[in-house]
Amino acid sequence: MRLTVLGATGGTGREIVRQGLEAGHEITAVVRDPAKLPVAHERLTVVRADVFDAAALEPAVKGADAVLSTLGHRSLGDDTPLCADAARATIAAMRATECRRLLVVSAAPVSRNDPGDRRLYALTVRPILRYVLRRGYADMAVMEDRVRAADDLEWTILRPPKLTDRPATGVARTALNQNVPGGYTLSRADLAAELLRRVDDARSVRAAVGIGN
């Protein structure tokens, strides 16, 4: 498959590039600074582009079977509408190039649909997280709204909990349209693997996928 990865220099993005190449995919990595992705491969194309500029994204998206966005905030004080504005540009670029499959990474606290054994977490821990990281989560919520409104695209939203740099376990649990029971952490490697697996999963089209270890 031909995959375009946004946020390719982040922890999850790098894992998608690595795992995708190992799986035989052709990867176009969209970055701000190519020096931050020191990877060379015959099936890897590194493109420098502004993720807020639809016209700049079009060459990277054209011909792709799917676009995978792992963009997210890297600091607590960042109030830039990164995810929301990038989603708007990405959707416009996909429409212009007739690319239909879109997968984006959000976060578990954005969801309000928790299974029973997470209700205590939802009532105690999650409100604290939402307050401390309110700008980032608010941005992701707007991103989700924009993605959901793109009903001409085949979108999937993945909602992981706290991400770690632990090795992949290969046993991540998932749930459609709700968070997973007890899933409080997830390795970036497992998230990347799930994103790649969901690219051609028809069940997750126009759905949110909760995931956790």
pTM of the predicted structure, to 2 decimals: 0.89
Write out pLDDT tens, residues 58-68: 999 999 999 99
Sheet arrangement for strand 66-69: 44-48, 26-31, 2-6, 66-69, 101-105, 154-159, 207-212, 173-176
Cβ contact 204:167 at 8 Å: no
Least reliable range by pLDDT among 22-31, 81-90, 135-144: 135-144
Domains of the chain, by residue range, sit at 2-212
Write out pLDDT tens, residues 171-186: 899 999 998 887 789 9
CATH number listed for the domain at residues 2-212 = 3.40.50.720
For the chain, where are the E strands, in sequence order?
2-6, 26-31, 44-48, 66-69, 101-105, 154-159, 162-164, 173-176, 185-187, 207-212
